């Protein structure tokens, strides 16, 4: 990055971290645009920090060089935007959301200006778009005298406003999807273990965020405030565990210290009768992985599979918060490859899973028995470890080989939780340890499955 100053106060544009931000944004733009655009990196840095900083302030207009006027105008427009101010609740000190906003905004700004430059019927607008583009490039310099009037001021302001508003609208949409994805995978809540920021893979995340199927799922899940707090913790009483209450008894190891001040006669009487005041203690049990079988047959196509995919991501979200491995296998008349996301997975592995879920479409026949047997084989052969429950999402349109399925589950020492999506299956009901039926396919139904 050059040593050129930007338009914000309080930013050291020579700082290695600030330079890194500019280089990272340039690299991500190159990935998304499919070509290298030699943009002035101070403009990219300023755009990033407008979203990231709690109180960004621009320099006075008298401090701005001529070749910074276009960038200055765009940064000021961003700062005064109502939609940006509303979104700052999520972008402040959130590097992934701020980066998504910056990259998406600049990409859409460039593409809109290039579109105007090529297709506008107004010569003045075409020239204005070209001048704005040139003003954002590295080494840009202002035009002097008559040359500067090639695009009149009115056209410049119109094109600048049009491109800015369109780019910012799309950027906010992209950033909301990134934020929802962050929330779902446990990336922005306290006590969620390792934080997945997505910053290093932001170009892949933005491509995912623009996928129509993924966007629908994320929007659906974002409407469930309770989703981010669902956890399941089993506890066991243990003398060296955490304090959670008091009780009477004779376990000296857990005695409340005040009891030691009792007269000897009274102390031994209470000990003999089991009436000493004791601390109640417990430890949290380690939960095993979540293993999900998801029906993608033709009868599941449409609303049913979209809802089932939302359940899959919600279950992963819970697995992430509870520090559990997550396994997913789609099936129709055959089982599809097993997807594994370990509890300490990197963000790129999570992105691959979400991308895979987005690509799956409903189609094919249904063989529920074969899918359950495949899951049991995964457990018996050690492809997955610690699985004690298999969750099955299906509309149940199939005949179950009860004897074979029961034997497989017993050999794998696993229970079967069946979730019927607008369907019922008497055979499956009999072989399942837990059997749920969902009809509405709304938030309430999803929570019922994820909390079970």
Does position 143 have pLDDT exceeding 60, yes or no? no
**What is the number of other CB atoms lying within 10 angstroms of the CB of residue 61?**
10
Q: What is the pLDDT of residue 193?
A: 40
Task: Using the CB atoms, write b or e for 245-255: b if 16+ within 10 Å.
Answer: eeeeeeeeebb
- Tell which wins on pLDDT, 65 or 185: 65
Q: How confident is the model at residue 268 (pLDDT cuts 50, 70, 90)?
A: confident
For residue 282, what are its two tokens?
């417990």
Q: How confident is the model at residue 286 (pLDDT cuts 50, 70, 90)?
A: low
For the segment 53-71, what is each residue's pLDDT rounded down to a tens digit?
A: 999 999 998 999 888 999 9
Question: How far apart (Å, rounded) are the C-alpha atoms in residues 352 and 340?
Answer: 10
For the segment 76-111, what is each residue's pLDDT rounded down to a tens digit?
A: 999 998 888 888 888 998 888 899 999 999 999 999
DSSP symbols for 229-279: G-----EEEEEEEEEEEEEEE--GGGB-GGGGGS-HHHHHHHHHTT-EEEE
Q: What is the pLDDT of residue 182?
A: 81
- Could you give the domains of the chain? 16-210 (no CATH), 235-284 (no CATH), 290-450 (3.40.50.410)
Q: What is the pLDDT of residue 196?
A: 55
The backbone region for 151, taken as left when phi is positive above 0, alpha when psi lies in -120 to 50, beta otherwise, is: beta
- Contact (Cβ atoms closer than 8 angstroms) between residue 36 and residue 65: no
Contacts of 206 (CB under 8 A, 6+ apart): 32, 100, 103, 104, 174, 178
Angle at 135 between CA 129 and CA 138, to 5 degrees: 130
For the segment 204-221, what is each residue's pLDDT rounded down to a tens digit?
A: 889 988 898 999 999 899
For the ranges 22-31, 135-144, 365-374, 437-446, the lowest mean pLDDT is seen at 135-144
Q: What is the pLDDT of residue 96?
A: 87
Task: Look up the pTM and report it.
Answer: 0.79
Question: How far apart (Å, rounded) are the C-alpha atoms in residues 375 and 409?
Answer: 9
- Contact (Cβ atoms closer than 8 angstroms) between residue 97 and residue 90: yes
Q: What is the pLDDT of residue 181?
A: 84
How far are the Cα atoms of 6, 305, 368, 389 from residue 302, in angstroms, in the given order?
49, 6, 19, 27
For the segment 386-422, what is each residue's pLDDT rounded down to a tens digit?
A: 888 999 999 998 999 999 999 999 999 999 999 999 9
pLDDT mean over 222-244? 65
SS (H, E, C) 86-120: HHHHHHCCCHHHHHHHHHHHHHHHHHHHHHHHHHC
Place of tokens 């407008």: 50
For the ranges 12-16, 145-149, 442-446, the lowest mean pLDDT is seen at 145-149
Question: How far apart (Å, rounded) are the C-alpha atoms in residues 166 and 217?
Answer: 24
pLDDT mean over 129-151? 68
């Amino acid at each position: 990055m050059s040593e050129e100053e930007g338009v914000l106060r309080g930013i050291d544009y020579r700082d290695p971290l600030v330079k890194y931000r500019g280089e990272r944004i340039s690299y991500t733009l190159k990935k998304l645009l499919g070509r290298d655009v030699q943009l002035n990196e101070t403009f990219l840095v300023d755009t990033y920090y407008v979203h990231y900083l709690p109180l960004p302030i621009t320099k006075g207009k008298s401090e701005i060089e001529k070749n910074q006027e276009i960038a200055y105008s765009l940064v000021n427009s961003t700062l005064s935007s109502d939609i940006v101010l509303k979104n700052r609740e999520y972008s402040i000190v959130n590097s992934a959301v701020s980066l998504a906003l910056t990259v998406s905004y600049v990409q859409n700004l460039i593409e809109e200006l290039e579109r105007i430059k090529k297709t506008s019927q107004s010569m003045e607008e075409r020239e204005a778009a070209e001048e704005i583009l040139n003003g954002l490039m590295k080494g840009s310099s202002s035009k002097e005298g008559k040359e500067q009037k090639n695009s009149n001021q009115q056209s410049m302001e119109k094109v600048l406003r049009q491109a800015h508003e369109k780019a910012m609208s799309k950027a906010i949409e992209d950033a909301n999807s990134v934020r929802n994805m962050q929330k779902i995978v446990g990336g922005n809540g306290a006590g969620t273990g390792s934080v997945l920021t997505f910053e290093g893979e932001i170009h892949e995340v933005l491509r995912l965020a623009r996928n129509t199927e993924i966007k629908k799922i994320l929007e659906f899940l974002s409407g469930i405030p309770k989703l981010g707090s669902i956890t399941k913790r089993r506890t066991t009483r243990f003398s060296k565990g955490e304090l959670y209450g008091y009780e009477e008894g004779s376990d000296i190891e857990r005695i409340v210290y005040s009891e030691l001040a009792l007269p000897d006669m009274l102390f031994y009487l209470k000990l003999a009768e089991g009436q000493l005041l004791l601390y109640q203690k417990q430890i949290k049990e380690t939960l095993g992985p979540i293993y999900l079988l998801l029906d993608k047959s033709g009868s599941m196509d449409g609303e049913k599979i979209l809802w089932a995919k939302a359940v899959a991501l919600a279950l992963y979200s819970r697995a992430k918060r509870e520090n559990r491995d997550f396994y997913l296998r789609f099936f129709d008349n055959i089982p599809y490859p097993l997807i594994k996301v370990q509890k300490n997975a990197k963000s790129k592995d999570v992105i691959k899973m979400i991308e895979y879920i987005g690509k799956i479409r409903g189609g094919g026949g249904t063989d529920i028995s074969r899918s359950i047997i495949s899951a049991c084989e995964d457990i018996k052969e050690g492809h997955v470890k610690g699985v004690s429950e298999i969750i099955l999402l299906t509309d149940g349109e199939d005949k179950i080989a009860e004897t074979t399925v029961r034997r497989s589950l017993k050999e794998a020492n696993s229970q079967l939780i069946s979730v019927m999506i607008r369907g019922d299956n008497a055979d499956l009901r009999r072989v399942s340890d837990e059997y749920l039926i969902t009809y509405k396919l709304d938030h309430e139904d999803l929570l019922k499955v994820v909390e079970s």
